[in-house]
């Protein structure tokens, strides 16, 4: 497709369940980012990949959060033992290059609700 | 890191009036400042950006101004229309050699017909 694709669009998990969120970036985009957006807030940085290398994971809230991009294209954000505070929209974004003045292309996000 | 503050958090204007949203940042090395528009339930989309070698940039009804000395930048929307209603986010990059962008908390703009 032409844009960043995320799935599922909505996910409801019971507390304690594991979830996996998928991001398919724009083809050829080197950089991939995951953001967490709580209701009424701006996106908060979680982690950054340049190709398959995870260069920054400083925004991951806890060791229950894990992200990978094994072949430098599709990425998966996994949350283990979900908690209610994990409820948010998880946005994926990609950029063509690796420099900081490239605009982010966002997906529509996955809205995670933990009950 | 980068600390970005955005004001106001909500803004209501009459259709046809202008709207101004302001952001301040902390990292004096930052030199790229994008603005994103997010409609309800949709993805953030870039509407305009500015680099620090210019002080102002315009694109039709939208303009962004930058004051590097004061470390603030503003979004100006003129002749507002109902379809401008959305949440607007400013952002500034962390000058760590790659794009780790810090977003403001957002401004919910309501244009009243």
Residues B34-50: pLDDT tens digits? 999 999 989 999 999 99
Query: What mean pLDDT, rounded, does chain B reach?
Result: 92
Longest dimension (CA), chain B: 44
**A109 CB near a chain B CB, below 8 Å?**
yes
Strands A110-114 and A10-13: parallel
- Ramachandran class of B60: left when φ > 0, alpha when ψ lies in -120 to 50, beta otherwise: left
Residue A1 has pLDDT above 60, yes or no: no
Residue A4's closest CA among A101, A89, A108, A100? A108
Nearest-CB residue to A55 (from B32, B98, B104): B98
Q: How do residues A37-61 score in pLDDT, each as one tens digit? A: 998 899 999 999 999 999 999 999 9
Q: Which residues of B touch A43 (CB under 8 A)?
A: 44, 89, 103
User: How large is the greatest C-alpha to C-alpha distance in chain A, in angstroms?
Assistant: 39
Distance CA A89, CA A75 (A): 16
Angle made by CA atoms A95, A104, A26, in degrees to the nearest 5: 45
Please, which residues 2-41 of chain A have a Cβ atom closer than 8 Å to chain B? 4, 31, 33, 35, 40-41
Nearest CA in chain A to B96: A100
Q: Are B43 and A107 in contact (CB under 8 A)?
A: yes
Contact state of A48 with B106 under an 8 Å Cβ cutoff: no
């Amino acid at each position: 497709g032409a844009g960043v694709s995320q799935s599922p669009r909505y996910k409801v998990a019971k507390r304690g369940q594991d979830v996996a969120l998928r991001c398919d970036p724009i083809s050829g985009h080197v950089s991939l980012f995951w953001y967490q957006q709580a209701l009424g807030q701006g996106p908060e940085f979680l982690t950054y990949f340049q190709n398959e290398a995870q260069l920054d994971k400083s925004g991951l809230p806890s060791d229950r959060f894990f992200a990978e991009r094994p072949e430098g294209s599709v990425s998966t954000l996994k949350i283990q033992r979900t908690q209610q505070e994990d409820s948010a929209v998880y946005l994926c974004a990609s950029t063509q290059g690796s420099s900081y003045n490239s605009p982010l292309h966002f997906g529509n996000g996955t809205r995670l609700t933990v009950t | 890191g980068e600390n970005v503050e955005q004001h106001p958090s909500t803004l209501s204007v009459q259709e046809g009036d202008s709207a101004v949203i302001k952001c301040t940042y902390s990292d004096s090395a930052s030199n790229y400042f994008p603005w994103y528009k997010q409609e309800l339930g949709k993805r953030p989309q870039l509407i305009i950006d500015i680099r620090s070698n210019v002080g102002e940039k315009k694109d039709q009804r939208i303009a962004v101004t930058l004051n590097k000395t004061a470390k603030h930048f503003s979004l100006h929307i003129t002749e507002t229309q109902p379809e401008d209603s959305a949440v607007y986010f400013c952002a500034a990059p962390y000058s760590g050699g790659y794009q780790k962008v810090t977003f403001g908390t957002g401004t919910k703009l309501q244009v009243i017909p």
